[in-house]
Chains A and B, each alone.
Chain A
Amino acid sequence: MKSASVVLLFAVITLSYAAVDEGLHPENLTKPLSESWPTFNGDYSGKRFSTLSQINQSNVRKLTLAWVMRPQSVAIKSMPLEVNGILYLTTPDNVWATDARSGRIIWHYYRESQGDHIGHRGVGMYKDWLYFETPDCHLIALSAKDGKVRWNIELADPKLGYFATMAPLVIRDHVIVGVSGDVTDIPGFLESVDPESGKVQWRWNTEPAPGESGSETWPQGTDAIAHGGGMTWMTGTYDPQLNQLYWGIGNPNPVLNGDIRKGDNLYTCSIVSLNPDTGKLNWHFQPSPHDTHDWDAVQTPIIFDDSYHGVTRKLLAQASRNGYFFLLDRTTGEHILTAPFIPTNWAKGIDSRGEPVPNPAKEAKPDGVLVSPGSDGATNWLAPSFDPVTKLFYVSARRLWSIFYMTAEGKPEGWAGRDRNLWASSVLEAIDYQTGKIRWTHELGDGEGTAGILTTAGNLLFTADNSDNLLALDPGTGKTLWHVNLGSRMHTAPSTYELDGRQYLLTPAGNVVFAWILPD
């Protein structure tokens, strides 16, 4: 009885706290995805499965435009957050706060910067503050009320080639931030920053220090490990019960030439589990040991609990850029299953750890080698989704053939080579995670797909094809239920939220945001 009272008291405190706080309390991030979209993947799991079901198979054909917003910007590659009726949308250098009911802009923050403007994934939110990374690799805390700068720190030196695109992940009082880099041989890291002060709480380097576990996977007595790459440019996932943070790590450097970095090159192209309070490594799994094809393993490591062969397990699944689907036990990192999801020709087999064994014959050569997938990957930043009802893992995949050339002469630096794409076609795949088999496919057209996926309790899957069509599919079969031409490519993923008892579907395409709703 006493404990019940305590629970009730706690509930009252939580409710009253929420009532006076217009921002986002980190506790709310542990809830399953429903009325709001408060973090990059909607919730910590990365499933991108919304429990909203007002828009469903019976009425999806009636969807109509609620509003359209066109910020003066480049293509939108970010996930807008939706918190308390306000959307927070980004492109490189820009943040907009927008009325989620009307699409009207409330404030706009702009900060010109040098650096790679290749794209931007979005902001993280903690209480009344937004966390925004910039092309010159700064982390800026903004007031969610008016876009005013609270503090601004440099995460890494942009003159060395660092830049930033990713959406920070907020876990309690940690703002987890990653960095990007590409053409220079710089080391990657993941960092936790105090949301109030901007002080660094911990840094985890993607290459171990010489002598530490994992360093034996690099040449000894050279500086290769200090120039090994391994960027952290996509937002990870988090299990609050296990208190484990899961992150996909980018490719090693030099990118296409591994001659001066013989070995597996940990923790590049790996999925790692870290303690978010300390930055200490729990376990790792490496989808691409000794990568020489730019296949970052940064794709969302989706977490879900399910019965696997009769035993309930805490699982983690990734459809990786190298063309393989991996299923792990996320408590320990124990490997469960590896299966290709497109035709690949670069691995000699799968080793006892469940990791593909690269075939040296398929590394870049001066006279060219034909490889599937090309460096753009069998998938990439495009958000995957896991639907706990159909129990299927959805990925926007590419069949992509490319010829890899080793152009470097002398000591390789930077990319040291390049591939040239020949032919690509895209396909949405529903993977049965229990077997790795593909349950159904839905062709998306020639070229490389750029759209992510949303699934909902309305028994719907939303994505876009390569002909600018927004698609609503049956997640059980892949059959099209509704479509509309948005006039440009989708470079992010659909999302959904509910306001005033009405479910909105949000679909950025090009630099235009479309919000859909059912008629009154």
Chain B
Amino acid sequence: MIFGIRNWKFSALAALVYLPLCAQQPNQSIPQPREQKNEDPASVERGRAEFKSSCGFCHGNDATGSRAPDLLRSVIVSHDDHGNLLAPVIRNGRPDKGMPSFTTLKDDQIEGIVAFLHHQANAALKSATVPGDYPLSKLLTGNPSAGKAFFYGLGGCSNCHSITGDLKGIAKRYSPLELQQQIVYPAGEKRAISETAVITLKNGEHYEGKIVHKDDFIIGITCQDGWYRSWPLNNVEVSIRDPLAAHRELMGKYTDADIHNLFAYLETLK
């Protein structure tokens, strides 16, 4: 449920819903959601091992639940602040729910488990992004030969592109994730190509340049002399060259296999 340009600063922890979801008391004090902090990596790793040996059998080694509940959606984890709620539960257990006590665990072991649980819960919260270092191995599922055939055949890529020209070494210039996206639509910050326009005035004068702005009413271009100029659209003739048009046309035609094959082929251009 994302509905706009997001602010990711806040996200609360996951829920365990069989506890009451809210308290409908008028004029109560404002709860303060726990800030999301990156846990100390050493503590997390220590906690991961400790969790696996002490807790994993019931809660799963990744804490997402097994015979005992998923702790990433736990109300106690959501409300915990540096172990203030979790530590007593670990030490004393929850006999009513069949959880034994862990009285032999030392403070630093419990601290590690707490750090690990918060780390795991935070990872779930951050799951709404594709990391920039997304691994090549996940993307490289296509067939390079089929990709090459598409490049020179059905895709029509070679009409505009050349592997010894503009695409030479392209796999070195982009991360695997960026390359896959650039193949389908080469836009974004690193976009090297853009629309250009030739403007013809009523007196026959021509101006040519990169389009800076165009709406239903005004066109503005950076002309070859470096000056920005604009005209009302109802007063000039405009001819636009849009090198991305072919990419847009392909969007509705690609199969996912075409994209994966093309990626596998262009990924060889290092």
Which of B2, B17, B72, B128 touches A186 (beta carbons < 8 Å)?
B17
The answer for the CA separation of A366 and B17 in the assembled complex, in Å, is 30
Contact A159 B27 (CB under 8 A): no
Interface flag for B18 (CB, 8 Å):
yes
Chain A min CB distance to B193 (Å): 14
List 17 A–B pairs whose Cβ atoms lie within 8 Å, in order of A's numbering.
Answer: A152-B26, A157-B78, A159-B33, A183-B124, A183-B125, A185-B14, A365-B256, A367-B140, A403-B259, A407-B134, A420-B177, A420-B181, A422-B187, A423-B185, A465-B215, A467-B216, A483-B216
The answer for the CA separation of A348 and B223 in the assembled complex, in Å, is 48
Contact B1 A136 (CB under 8 A): no
The secondary-structure label for the interface of chain A is loop
The answer for the CA separation of A93 and B28 in the assembled complex, in Å, is 17
Stretch of A25-33, A112-120, A124-132, A271-279 with 4 or more beta carbons under 8 angstroms from chain B = A112-120
Contact A153 B26 (CB under 8 A): yes
Contact B3 A233 (CB under 8 A): yes
Stretch of B46-54, B102-110, B246-254 with 4 or more beta carbons under 8 angstroms from chain A = B246-254
Given A410-B62, A411-B62, A413-B72, are A186 and B4 neighbors across the interface (CB < 8 Å)?
A: no
Which of A152, A158, A227, A423 touches B73 (beta carbons < 8 Å)?
A227
Given A403-B184, A415-B128, A418-B128, are A159 and B30 neighbors across the interface (CB < 8 Å)?
A: no
Stretch of A6-14, A95-103, A374-382, A503-511 with 4 or more beta carbons under 8 angstroms from chain B = A374-382
Which positions 148-178 of chain A face chain B at CB distance < 8 Å? 151-163
The residues of A that contact B244 with a CB separation of less than 8 Å are 423
Q: Which among A186, A343, A380 has the greatest number of chain B C-beta atoms within 10 A? A: A186
The answer for the CA separation of A229 and B73 in the assembled complex, in Å, is 13
The answer for the CA separation of A153 and B60 in the assembled complex, in Å, is 37
Contact B1 A366 (CB under 8 A): no
Which of A151, A162, A365 touches B27 (beta carbons < 8 Å)?
A151
Chain A interface residues toward B at CB < 8 A: 77, 113-119, 135-138, 151-163, 180-187, 189, 197-200, 223, 226-227, 229, 231, 233, 250-251, 255, 294, 296, 298, 343, 345, 361, 365-370, 372, 375-376, 380-381, 401, 403, 405, 407-408, 410-418, 420, 422-423, 443, 445, 450, 465, 467, 469, 480, 483, 491
The residues of A that contact B224 with a CB separation of less than 8 Å are none
The answer for the CA separation of A423 and B245 in the assembled complex, in Å, is 11
The answer for the CA separation of A181 and B228 in the assembled complex, in Å, is 45
Which positions 212-270 of chain B face chain A at CB distance < 8 Å? 213, 215-217, 244, 247-248, 251-252, 254, 256, 259-260
Contact B1 A294 (CB under 8 A): yes
Given A118-B4, A184-B11, A423-B185, are A154 and B138 neighbors across the interface (CB < 8 Å)?
A: no
Interface flag for B198 (CB, 8 Å):
no
Which positions 132-184 of chain B face chain A at CB distance < 8 Å? 134, 138-142, 177, 180-181, 184
The residues of A that contact B27 with a CB separation of less than 8 Å are 151-152
Contact A381 B4 (CB under 8 A): yes
The residues of B that contact A443 with a CB separation of less than 8 Å are 216
The digit string for B11-28, where 1 denotes a CB below 8 A from any CB of A, is 111110110011111111
Contact A184 B15 (CB under 8 A): yes
The answer for the CA separation of A215 and B22 in the assembled complex, in Å, is 23
The digit string for B102-130, where 1 denotes a CB below 8 A from any CB of A, is 00000000000000000000001111111
Contact A115 B26 (CB under 8 A): no
Residue of A nearest to B141 (CB): A367
The answer for the CA separation of A488 and B189 in the assembled complex, in Å, is 21
Interface flag for B31 (CB, 8 Å):
yes
Which positions 32-86 of chain B face chain A at CB distance < 8 Å? 32-34, 60, 62, 64-65, 69-70, 72-73, 75, 78-79
Q: Which among B3, B215, B254 has the greatest number of chain A C-beta atoms within 10 A? A: B3
Given A184-B12, A231-B1, are A113 and B21 neighbors across the interface (CB < 8 Å)?
A: no
The answer for the CA separation of A179 and B203 in the assembled complex, in Å, is 60
Chain B interface residues toward A at CB < 8 A: 1-4, 6-7, 10-15, 17-18, 21-28, 30-34, 60, 62, 64-65, 69-70, 72-73, 75, 78-79, 124-131, 134, 138-142, 177, 180-181, 184-185, 187, 213, 215-217, 244, 247-248, 251-252, 254, 256, 259-260
Given A115-B33, A226-B17, A483-B216, are A405 and B134 neighbors across the interface (CB < 8 Å)?
A: yes
Residue of A nearest to B247 (CB): A423
Given A136-B31, A226-B18, A418-B130, are A160 and B12 neighbors across the interface (CB < 8 Å)?
A: yes
Residue of B nearest to A197 (CB): B26
The answer for the CA separation of A152 and B216 in the assembled complex, in Å, is 47
Contact B184 A422 (CB under 8 A): yes
The residues of A that contact B6 with a CB separation of less than 8 Å are 118
Contact B259 A370 (CB under 8 A): yes
Contact A159 B65 (CB under 8 A): no
Residue of B nearest to A419 (CB): B130
The answer for the CA separation of A414 and B26 in the assembled complex, in Å, is 31
Which of B21, B73, B128, B141 touches A255 (beta carbons < 8 Å)?
B128
Q: Which among B10, B22, B60 has the greatest number of chain A C-beta atoms within 10 A? A: B22
The answer for the CA separation of A380 and B78 in the assembled complex, in Å, is 30
Contact B127 A416 (CB under 8 A): yes
Chain B min CB distance to A341 (Å): 15
